[in-house]
Amino acid sequence: MRYIDLFCGIGGFRKAMEAVGGECVFSSDIDKFARETYKENFGDYPEGDITKISENDVPDFDILLGGFPCQPFSYSGRNEGFEDKTRGTLFFDILRILKNKRPKMFLLENVKGLKSHNGGETLKVIENSLIDLGYDIHWKILNSHDFGVPQKRERWYCVGFDKTIDFKFPVGNKKGSTLREIIDVNINDESLNITDFELERIKYHFNNAEEIRVKHDSSKYNPNTKKGKHGVFSFQKPDGSLRFHVGDRSKTQIQEAFYSCLDTYACTIIANRVPKLWDIGRKLSVKEAARIQGFPDDFKFPVSNAQAYKQLGNAVVVTVVQEILKTMKDYYINEYQEDTAINESHSVEVAS
């Protein structure tokens, strides 16, 4: 299986594909720091901005992989093809490559919010554009916590085939993993410690935990701000995680902070947020953050810790993608290699 790795980041798709088997013939990402990490781990330096690369310069391949950014689409030309509806977005570049290269299958990933983005119109354009190219598509929201990863990370996954396939997504049946399984409690690194301010309010919560929702002193905040107007509250969920939010029951609650603990899962790691644990008073190390994204311990980051956290926040969960690719490989073997064998047999008969 020859594949291309679009918007490759640090190579989460490729890491998953290594366990499945296949040959990467092309990769691309606009972030120079992510490309450095990719090269350090796979030996290939990805191409740059895909919008500046012609589809004719992309080698032939069987599978397209891509976690494309979700961008606002233009709906000015509803009666036109995907060129009109998606031009100016990075999804357009996926479509033009699919149209030109006609791979057998693809796997796309995006945030859960894509499902409801712009009232569902964005997803509708994506679906129709892929169907118009002649692909049979299937999508589902999957949670990494269901696949044995101690992180609640829900993402939209979409597979497509150039023929009708009765595709079934893998079922995650490993829910229940906790951070205790991946945390090194013996780490002594002051740079990972949460601030004194955070420690103080965590302590205040537990000193007043007879209240379900503990009200914190909001006099320190400007009275014209949301915190000053509505107050800051904390409460502990049944799973052990500690939440801080702004606002009371009669107002919209805005989550301000989320602290996990060893016996629960992490919140979703994103580019500007690293999960923190209230019971050990620190955030995850880079290696631990990589673990909750499904990367092995020998994965290297030749960049600053700040860049490494950002890169991991933008990455796919290797564990989940690997399970989807395993299922896709089964279809590849059963559907496509069988067709190849039939065609080769027919060619031999005709030649005879």
Q: Residue 150: pLDDT band by 50, 70, 90 thresholds?
A: very high
Q: Is the dihedral of CA 309, 310, 311, 315 positive or negative?
A: positive
Task: Kindly state the average pLDDT of the residues 122-138.
Answer: 93
pLDDT at 271: 82
Residue 294 DSSP code: T
Does pLDDT of 77 surpass 50?
A: no
Model confidence band, residue 51 (pLDDT cutoffs 50, 70, 90): very high
State what percent of residues in the chain have pLDDT above 70.
88
Q: What pLDDT, on a 0 to 100 scale, did the predictor assign at position 86?
A: 63
Lookup: tokens for 103: 């791979």
For residue 343, pLDDT beyond 60: no
The pLDDT assigned to 81 comes to 46
pLDDT tens digits, one per residue of 217-248: 888 888 888 888 888 999 999 999 999 998 76
d(CA 255, CA 245): 4
Whether residue 97 has pLDDT greater than 60 = yes
What is the C-alpha to C-alpha distance for residues 188 and 190, in angstroms, rounded to an integer?
6
Residue 20 pLDDT class (50, 70, 90 cuts): very high
The domain locations on the chain are 2-173+317-349, 179-313
The CATH H-level superfamily of 2-173+317-349 is: Vaccinia Virus protein VP39 (3.40.50.150)
Mention every residue, 6+ apart, whose C-beta is less than 8 A from residue 187: 282, 285
User: What are the φ and ψ backbone dihedral angles of 224, each rounded to 5 degrees?
Assistant: -90, -5
Q: Choose the catalytic residue: 70, 158, 261, 267.
A: 70
Structure confidence at residue 46 (pLDDT): 97
pLDDT tens for 165-181 read: 999 999 988 888 999 99
Fold classification of 179-313 (topology level): DNA Methylase; Chain A, domain 2 (3.90.120)
- Active-site annotation holds for 8: no
